[in-house]
């Protein structure tokens, strides 16, 4: 049995969708713990979500199951898939959401899901398809799909780092899709008309000062000490960032 099922979605917390998926998981994988990691991944944006998911996946152990649904093409011709990357399982739409995890993996397997439930709505594959498949894998069942060569599914041409804001938390801190380890030295970050220096943590700058730092999951994050960076700097999802003319 898997250690935990991780939910990663853009469903939000106000609506019943996460609860409906969790009800399926409780029914089909009773006793397997669930963690609702992200309920507000960038809306309709599997490209940005892919960098966010990859940054957090590594903190979970082998055999963790990620039920990840950012699926603006639900009901269309995108494939449903199961990916096993460095021992972790990812279940969701084949729309780029797992592309970064796959590109960075040392060991990679890929399946196209060919199982169909008795009831499959056109608009909620998270509940009707992906949650049941995640539950099956979490309880040790075989993957209900056809194995394919990963290179036939990975989308080419994606940059190793995404130089834009991909998530804003309730404090107003703005995460980017850039791993801080990819940068050399204490380069300055440029976003809009603002130029920010690097600091190790909030207490290293004065209250009200804007800066960037390496967050706990290795991403470049923009913040204001005791302030709301998104409001103060006029940041929104998709905002481009630059470092000394790079990225």
Encode the chain (247 residues) as per-residue pLDDT tens digits. 568 999 999 999 999 999 999 999 999 999 999 999 999 999 999 999 999 999 999 999 999 999 999 999 999 999 999 999 999 999 999 999 999 999 999 999 999 999 999 999 999 999 999 999 999 999 999 999 999 999 999 999 999 999 999 999 999 999 999 999 999 888 999 999 999 999 999 999 999 999 999 999 999 999 999 999 999 999 999 999 999 755 5
pLDDT at 3: 85
C-alpha to C-alpha distances, 188 to 33, 42, 191, 204, 236, nearest whole angstrom: 42, 26, 10, 16, 20
Residue 131 burial (CB count, 10 A): 28
pLDDT at 184: 86
Let me know whether 24 and 140 are in one domain. yes
Domain that residue 15 falls in: 5-152
Which CATH number is 146's domain given?
3.40.50.10790
pLDDT at 2: 66
In the chain, the number of structural domains is: 2
Phi, psi (degrees; rounded to nearest 5) at 109: -130, 155
Task: With respect to residue 157, please indicate whether it lies within any of the assigned structural domains.
Answer: no
pLDDT at 193: 94
* Beta carbons within 8 Å of 49's beta carbon, 6+ residues apart: 8, 10, 41, 42, 68, 70, 97, 166
Residue ending a domain, choose from 152, 180, 205? 152
Task: With respect to residue 176, please indicate whether it lies within any of the assigned structural domains.
Answer: yes
* Beta carbons within 8 Å of 155's beta carbon, 6+ residues apart: 96, 99
pLDDT at 1: 54
Task: With respect to residue 187, please indicate whether it lies within any of the assigned structural domains.
Answer: yes
pLDDT at 108: 98
Residue ending a domain, choose from 107, 123, 152? 152
The model carries a pTM of 0.96
Which CATH number is 197's domain given?
2.40.30.90
Rounded to an integer, what distance in angstroms lies between the CA atom of residue 124 and that of residue 212?
A: 38
Task: With respect to residue 168, please indicate whether it lies within any of the assigned structural domains.
Answer: yes
pLDDT at 185: 82
Let me know whether 147 and 178 are in one domain. no
Rounded to an integer, what distance in angstroms lies between the CA atom of residue 162 and that of residue 189?
A: 14
Cβ atoms of residues 181 and 173 within 8 Å: no
């Amino acid at each position: 049995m898997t250690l935990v099922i991780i939910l990663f979605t853009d469903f939000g917390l106000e609506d019943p969708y996460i609860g409906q998926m969790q009800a399926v998981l409780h029914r089909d994988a009773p006793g397997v713990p669930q963690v609702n990691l992200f309920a507000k991944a960038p809306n309709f944006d599997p490209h940005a979500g892919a960098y966010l998911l990859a940054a957090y996946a590594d903190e979970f152990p082998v055999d963790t199951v990620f039920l990840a649904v950012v699926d603006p093409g639900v009901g269309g011709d995108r494939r449903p898939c199961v990916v096993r990357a460095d021992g972790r399982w990812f279940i969701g739409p084949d729309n780029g959401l797992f592309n970064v995890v796959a590109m960075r993996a040392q060991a990679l397997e890929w399946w196209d899901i060919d199982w169909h439930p008795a009831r499959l709505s056109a608009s909620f594959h998270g509940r009707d398809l992906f949650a049941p498949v995640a539950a099956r894998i979490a309880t040790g069942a075989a993957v209900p799909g056809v194995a394919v060569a990963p290179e036939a599914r990975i989308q080419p041409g994606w940059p190793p780092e995404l130089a834009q804001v991909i998530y804003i938390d309730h404090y107003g801190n703005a995460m980017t899709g850039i791993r801080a380890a990819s940068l050399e030295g204490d380069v300055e970050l440029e976003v809009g008309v603002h130029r920010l220096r690097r600091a190790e943590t909030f207490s290293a700058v004065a209250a009200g000062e804007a800066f960037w730092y390496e967050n706990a999951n290795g991403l470049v994050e923009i913040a204001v000490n005791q302030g709301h960076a998104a409001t103060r700097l006029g940041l929104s999802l998709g905002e481009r960032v630059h470092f000394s003319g790079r990225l």
